[in-house]
């Protein structure tokens, strides 16, 4: 075959990367003429708006290298006899067994059919077609490439769908585990970006705060942004009319009216409905210009889970807020009984959270301490008013009675399965223990005192000193800090003392924000 002159200007064609995208076809053959003729015959081949990109290898060893470097190749046209009689068969084995590439379509071509009988090769090797070079005309080559590309496309589509469904399952699990509205929109966008492969940073999650049913736009007063990301992050609580243009508002209305997902050039607006709470709209910008049908299916599945996950966050926050409010109301009832004028427990909770963060505890532990700290004096419910509100120094037996409130508080709270109540029991028990062992009710010392108890003890003392009590006048900030420093290593954990000194201004802001009532 002496057609080299026909392809004199054909050098480097295999290196061309087409801007419209391409299907990679690897040619593994030791005859340069076969490479040239194959490229010529398929020069104008187009499938789904993409041309062919040819990559050449001239031996079995070179073929293995090229295949490992191009795992996204769609087809390999593979000669059987090259440097050895079975070099091509070894490459086929390498593709499936060593490279573990099950997607690429293997078309075996041979000039010596008797060397590798078709039946034996089909049975023993995972190839997709077997052709003799003498029978492979230009038309037949076109046909076999077209059918192989269709098969490759379908395999890739199925695999992408499988991966997408896997991501949706993982995304749902991740989003359902979120219990903070601040984290919710980040979680949604992170997972959606993973599913559709877009680098989006601008997103809003919008809900109808007035109507459960978004279908009737005529009776809709507003769409309010309740979570946002990117350039919209400062738009929380605003009506969309104040934030987005008329074109995007029209897309919102179209999605609501059709209860569907509306796609535009580079964004989507998805209607998310629910039986349990306000229906919602998810807006996402930064989409790739072409979103495939399989990606749209995945987005629809994901959007259905977004609303449920959002409800999960709302429900969790409502439960936490209800629990926190009950704790505050209980603690405020005790404050009123002891002639304290309110907000002491709230301040102790917030100061404890600041100290916990400064000490290096996790955000979860800090939140837990903040929620449980108001329960520190729950045991005082058992102390008589005559002792609790006595303005003079307590007598020895009265002081002994007062000291029982720690253990009684722990007794009231023990046995619960709720983490806040469990933490409250620990705090009630340990918040009057001293670092040097001189405290009560047990006389624990040092690290034997639970860190929750140590933190709340300091917050409680600081706030009590800064406010009027029936037995004392309020101290100044400087007087209080001097006392705290003097008790380092005695009453208080020395590290906590340093932490408090470093964040004293923040603590004073809390005191100013929640004054006595």
The set of catalytic residues is 380
267-272 and 261-263 as β-strands: parallel, antiparallel, unpaired? antiparallel
The strands making up 22-28's β-sheet, listed across from edge to edge, are 46-47, 50-57, 22-28, 75-79, 105-110, 129-132
Alpha-carbon span 94 to 392, nearest angstrom: 91
Neighbours of 515 (CB within 10 A): 11
Burial 239-271, CB ≥16 within 10 A → b, else e: ebeebbeeebeebbbebbeeeebbeeeebbbbb
Two structure tokens written together for 25 = 């076809």
Pairing of strands 50-57, 22-28: parallel
Task: Write out 212-242 in H/E/C secondary structure.
Answer: CCCCCHHHCCCCEEEEEEHHHCCCCCCEHHH
* Joined tokens for residue 108: 């075996």
Six-digit token pair at 5? Answer: 């002159």
**Dist. CA 5–CA 332, nearest whole Å:** 96
Q: Which ranges of 177-218 does DSSP label H, i.e. alpha helix?
A: 181-196
**Four-CA torsion 344, 345, 351, 355, nearest 10 degrees:** 140
| CB-CB contact of 51 with 45 (8 Å) | yes
């Amino acid at each position: 075959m002496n057609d080299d002159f026909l392809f004199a200007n054909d050098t480097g064609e295999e290196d061309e990367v087409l801007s419209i995208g391409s299907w990679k076809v690897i040619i593994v053959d030791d005859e340069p003429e076969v490479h040239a003729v194959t490229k010529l015959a398929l020069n104008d081949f187009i499938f789904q708006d993409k041309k062919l990109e040819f990559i050449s290898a001239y031996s079995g060893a070179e073929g293995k290298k090229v295949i490992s470097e191009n795992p996204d190749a769609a087809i390999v046209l593979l000669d059987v006899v090259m440097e050895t009689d079975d070099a091509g068969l070894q490459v086929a084995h390498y593709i499936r067994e060593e490279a573990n590439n099950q997607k690429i379509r293997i078309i075996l071509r041979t000039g010596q059919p008797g060397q590798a009988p078709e039946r034996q090769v089909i049975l023993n090797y995972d190839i997709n077609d077997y052709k003799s070079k003498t029978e492979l005309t230009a038309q037949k080559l076109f046909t076999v490439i077209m059918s192989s590309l269709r098969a490759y496309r379908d395999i890739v589509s199925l695999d992408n769908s499988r991966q997408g469904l896997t991501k949706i399952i993982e995304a749902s699990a991740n989003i359902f585990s979120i219990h903070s509205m601040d984290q919710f929109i980040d979680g949604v966008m992170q997972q959606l970006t993973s599913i559709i492969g877009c680098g989006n940073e601008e997103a809003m999650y919008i809900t109808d705060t007035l109507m459960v049913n978004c279908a009737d736009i005529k009776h809709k007063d507003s769409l309010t942004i309740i979570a946002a990301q990117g350039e919209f992050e400062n738009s929380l609580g605003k009506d969309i009319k104040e934030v987005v243009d008329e074109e995007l508002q029209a897309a919102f209305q179209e999605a609501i009216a059709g209860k569907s997902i509306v796609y535009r050039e580079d964004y989507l607006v998805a209607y998310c409905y629910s039986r349990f709470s306000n229906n919602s709209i998810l807006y996402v910008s930064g989409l790739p210009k072409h979103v495939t049908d399989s990606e749209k299916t995945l987005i629809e599945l994901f959007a259905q889970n977004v609303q449920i996950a959002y409800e999960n966050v709302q429900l969790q926050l409502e439960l936490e807020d209800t629990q926190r409010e009950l704790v505050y109301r209980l603690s405020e009832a005790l404050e009123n009984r002891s002639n304290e004028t309110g907000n002491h427990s709230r301040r102790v909770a917030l100061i404890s959270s600041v100290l916990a963060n400064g000490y290096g505890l996790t955000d979860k532990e800090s939140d837990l301490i903040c929620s449980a700290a108001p329960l520190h004096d729950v045991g005082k419910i058992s102390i008589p008013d005559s002792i609790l509100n006595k303005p003079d120094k307590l007598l020895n037996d009265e002081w002994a009675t007062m000291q029982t409130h720690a253990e009684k508080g722990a007794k009231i709270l023990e046995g619960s399965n709720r983490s806040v109540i469990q933490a409250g029991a620990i705090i009630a028990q340990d918040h009057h223990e001293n670092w040097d062992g001189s405290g009560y009710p047990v006389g624990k010392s040092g690290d034997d005192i639970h860190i929750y108890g140590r933190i709340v003890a300091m917050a409680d003392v600081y706030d009590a000193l800064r406010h009027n009590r029936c037995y004392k006048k309020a101290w100044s900030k400087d007087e209080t800090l001097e006392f705290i420093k003097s008790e380092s290593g005695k009453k208080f954990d020395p590290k906590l003392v340093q932490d408090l000194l470093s964040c004293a201004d923040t603590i004073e802001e809390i005191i100013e924000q929640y004054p006595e009532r």
